[in-house]
Structures are given as C-alpha cells and as structure tokens.
Amino acid sequence: METVWITGASSGIGEACACLYASQGANLVLTSSSAERLEAAAQRCRELGAAGVAVLPYDLGDPAGIEALVYGAWTAFGGLDTVYLNAGISQRTTVEDTSMDMIRKIMEINYFSSVSIARALLPLLLERGGGHIAVTTSIAGRFGFPLRCAYSSSKFALYGFFETLQAEYYARGIRVTLVCPGRVRTNISRYALDKGGVPHGVLDPGQAGGLPAEKAAARIVRAVRRGRREVLVGRGELLMVFIKRFFPGLCARLSRRLKPM
C-alpha cells in the first residue's frame, strides 16, 4: 500500500492530488499551515477511500521544526513512498515594492523548506532502498515574469537543487519529478503577498481561467507514477517554456508584454 506525504495539502493542487490518491486507497500524510482547512481536506480524503490519513499542520516558514515534522510524517505509517513538496506562496509586487523581508519569507517557504525536508528525508529513503520526491516549481521558474521577482527566483532555485539531487542519487533509487504548473485554478493569487506583505486577496483572471485543479492533479499523479523527470501542467501558456528554450530573445520580449495578473 502506497504512503504519500503532501505539503500544501489544504487547497488547490495539493488538495486535489490528496483526493486522487485517497480514491486510489493510499495512506496519506497531509501538511498545511491552516489546521482547520487541513482537517476539512483530510475528511474529504477519508470519505473518498484513503486507507489512512494523518494530519500534520505546520508553518513551513519556520525552519526550526522541520526535522520533527519529517520524523512525524515518516513514522505516521511506518515510512513514505512518495513525497510531494507542493507548499508555496506567491507575490504581486515589483522589484521596488518587494522588501528583503518579503523575499526572505518567500524563499523560506518555497525553497528552503523543500530543501530542508528533502535533506532530512534522504537518509531515511536511502536506507529503505529509494523513494520518489515530487516538487512544485512553476513556469515562472523557467523565465522571469513581471511582479514575481522573489517567487520566480525561488522556483528557479528548486530546479537547481532537485535536478542535482536526482543526478547524485538516481543510482540509489531516488526519483524526482519537477511539477511545473502554468495557470491552474487555485487560490494562490488570493494569498500572494502584495505591497507591505499583505495578502493580494484577489483571484486573478489568469488563475480563474486556468486549468481546473482536479485535471492538474490527474496529470501530476500520472507523471509521478510513470517516473517522469518533469511534467508541465496548464494550457496554452505552457508554450512560453518552449519559446524560452528555442527562442530566448523572443521569450524576453513577450515576457515584457505579458499581463502578470
């Protein structure tokens, strides 16, 4: 029986993936900063047929308790097969309006927490003979995007760390899937940081018209099961990834003209 740990599991892509794994009878360990929303998601997973659900609420902006969190996730069902590091926070500010405190907060949640969890899990996974780590990046981690200076930086950084992790430990059974969403219909824009570090509070048109989270989850779970190195999740906006690869100058010009909301 598969055991899956998902961070950022109380809404959006994380919750949709949790529900899909639940319908397939997996054991689930769910983490999010909101205990109330997390328990609601856990109850939905129980109703959908999860073999077991453990709830571990935690604010990933606090690095002090990461090792204890990993221990709790690992021991909840006697080990982990798949870990999906999905938690993250975005922004809606220009470089001038993005304070260093905001940059550090976004990097802590999006990058350092995922790195810390992966490093703490690695010896446990290796001792067990391997395991699969999926991590949510973004198309904003493939090219710079207006109003996303810290968010984009954190997602670029995830590519560097997790591609290296797989290169070093592939032969020892560690598999990595980089989940690269474009616009998916979630509440990420509502919780994105605006000027002064306050929540943006608006569902941006790009998010509202994005791929439904349930369809995104189906693609993600399928890609993880197939051992894909990377999966692009979205609609027409994903074309920008290929434009950046083959026509970087054109990508730069298009990025300057894109509506960032």
- 244 against 84, higher pLDDT: 84
Pair 70, 29: CB distance under 8 Å:
no
Confidence grade of residue 201 (pLDDT, cut at 50, 70, 90): confident
Q: In the predicted model, what is the mean pLDDT of the chain? A: 94
Catalytic option among 21, 151, 159, 169: 151
Q: What are the tens digits of pLDDT across the range 246-261?
A: 998 988 888 887 776 5
Annotated catalytic residue 58: no
Out of 8-22, 91-105, 199-213, least confident range: 199-213
Helices (H) and strands (E) in the chain, counts: 11, 9
Please compute the mean of the pLDDT values over residues 219-244 and round it to a whole number. Answer: 94
Helix (H, G, I), strand (E, B) or coil at 100: helix
CA distance linking residue 18 with residue 38, whole number of Å? 11
* Predicted confidence (pLDDT) at residue 238 exceeds the cutoff of 80: yes
CA distance linking residue 41 with residue 85, whole number of Å? 17
Furthest-apart CA atoms within the chain: distance in Å:
51
Residue 256: what pLDDT?
A: 84
Pair 44, 69: CB distance under 8 Å:
no
Count of CB atoms situated within 10 Å of the CB of 125: 23
For the purposes of burial, counting CB atoms within 10 Å of the CB of 188, is it exposed (0-12), middle (13-18) or buried (19 or more)?
A: buried
Residue 261: what pLDDT?
A: 59
For residue 156 the two structure tokens come to: 């670029």
Which domains does the chain show, CATH number per domain? 3-257 (3.40.50.720)
